Structure 1
């Protein structure tokens, strides 16, 4: 596991830690949640265990982490851990630029905002802290990528279950 002392992660947690955006579309972890979330990410993606620190998550339960194994100009780059897809996506920005630019300019791409709005209208549910709209059948097991395959679930349970299924 990468260090929670990573300056970019510390800055994000200091300025945004514990905040929820757009009715649960995206959340930044509190400092006391980072270790547990990172452990769940490492369980699901053991090949990344030596260099990630999770700082946030979205409504689908996808984690966003600083990847110390990929740096640009000395800054760790963002990695999105897709628990429902079983894949990790490299996002070529550091955690600060991710919040200042990616989430502002590209929320549809970064957070699947149109899918979130579609799910909200169909489910008529609000996500509480530590809940996500998880796939009933993960996509990596042949599940459908539609709102009928989503259910409100405990985030920690979802992370651990998908992590075990992936491995």
Structure 2
């Protein structure tokens, strides 16, 4: 099943193999609807499995409203604020499953306006066995410019 709407999530730091990630926590197949969660976007670096790499950063650059409707999908409304103006970011909605994640899949792009602000919505089915979910964004031209949402339990 493909992803729908403009999608977002994505910081991967290609050089050095560092990935930024976010995650959820209950077994996906067992959980029902989850109300919206508003999670800040920061520049904290996460690996694909959702573990923090270099310590938490607290400055916020917008937020992600994350919801899991009973229909078995994830919906992430990404709002980026104060990033580099007129810049396109790859967005990834990353689900962590035992021994793997889908952090290499670009789900959408987000282009900021002249003020460095932008929005995008991403939807995708909950992966079987997924325990966490997170959103990552990275500048298409500079993998060192990224924003992430702290991993959340499913």
Q: How would you bin the TM-score normalised by the shorter chain? A: under 0.3
**TM-score normalised to the size of structure 2?**
0.26
Q: Which has the higher helix share?
A: 1
Structure of greater Rg: 1
Q: Which has the higher strand share?
A: 2
**TM-score normalised to the size of structure 1?**
0.25
